[in-house]
A and B are shown apart, each in its own frame.
Chain A
Amino acid sequence: DVKVTQSSRYLVKRTGEKVFLECVQDMDHENMFWYRQDPGLGLRLIYFSYDVKMKEKGDIPEGYSVSREKKERFSLILESASTNQTSMYLCASSLSQARGGYTFGSGTRLTVV
């Protein structure tokens, strides 16, 4: 069964910490995405990547960076976590030209205290 795996389901971090959220897919997908989901705001795109070592800013990239050193792994980095980054983070992947046929991970609920 094809999968997108997010390393942690729940995470609690302190303000100012550097936080890594990991996402791995086993489907050889070219495209990978990071979204955050907040009540009343839906899903908002943070960063995405169409290829290894390639990244593009989404709609809300401030305070985040990403890394894609290998095709199957796409990491989201919070350089200095803040309380307003408390959220559900969702990773997704898709084939090139899949036209939105994303496969999502189960999400990481991050709480910054």
Chain B
Amino acid sequence: AQKVTQAQTEISVVEKEDVTLDCVYETRDTTYYLFWYKQPPSGELVFLIRRNSFDEQNEISGRYSWNFQKSTSSFNFTITASQVVDSAVYFCALSEANRDDKIIFGKGTRLHILP
């Protein structure tokens, strides 16, 4: 069965600090996809990144970076030099290739960036 665990329920950091959001997943498939979504206070989830299981390269997009490690079944998300606008709930998610486009979300991590 597939499962996504975000052990950090809530994190608070002071603006300009770096912060890492943890995500651990479980799947029996060899082909799968991992995602991060952001939910700001407005409520609408915003797609941030997709990574397939054959691509373990880390990715950087501006202040955001993602570390995918199959050996530990983790897909962690780091925000560098955090800003108040980064305050949101962040969801990690997993989709198995044989299940079409259905994805399973973790319970989310609420991130507070304090000014």
Contacts of B106 in A (CB 8 A): 42
- Do the beta carbons of A48 and B108 come within 8 Å of each other? no
Docked complex Cα distance between A41 and B4 (Å): 12
- Do the beta carbons of B47 and A101 come within 8 Å of each other? yes
- Do the beta carbons of B47 and A103 come within 8 Å of each other? yes
Q: Say how far A16's CB is from chain B's closest CB, in angstroms.
A: 27
B residues at A contact (CB < 8 Å): 9, 33, 35, 37, 42-47, 50, 52, 91, 93, 95, 100-108
Contacts of A103 in B (CB 8 A): 47
- Do the beta carbons of B107 and A41 come within 8 Å of each other? yes
- Do the beta carbons of A102 and B47 come within 8 Å of each other? yes
Instruction: Please report the number of residue pairs spanning A and B whose Cβ atoms sit closer than 8 angstroms.
Output: 60
* Interface bracket on A: 20 to 34
A residues at B contact (CB < 8 Å): 31, 33, 35, 40-43, 45, 48, 50, 58, 88, 90, 92, 94, 96-107
Per a CB cutoff under 8 Å, which of B9, B33, B43, B108 touches A100? B33
Can you sample 15 A-B contacts with CB below 8 Å? A31-B100, A33-B102, A35-B105, A42-B105, A42-B106, A42-B108, A43-B105, A43-B108, A88-B43, A99-B52, A100-B101, A101-B50, A102-B37, A104-B46, A105-B44
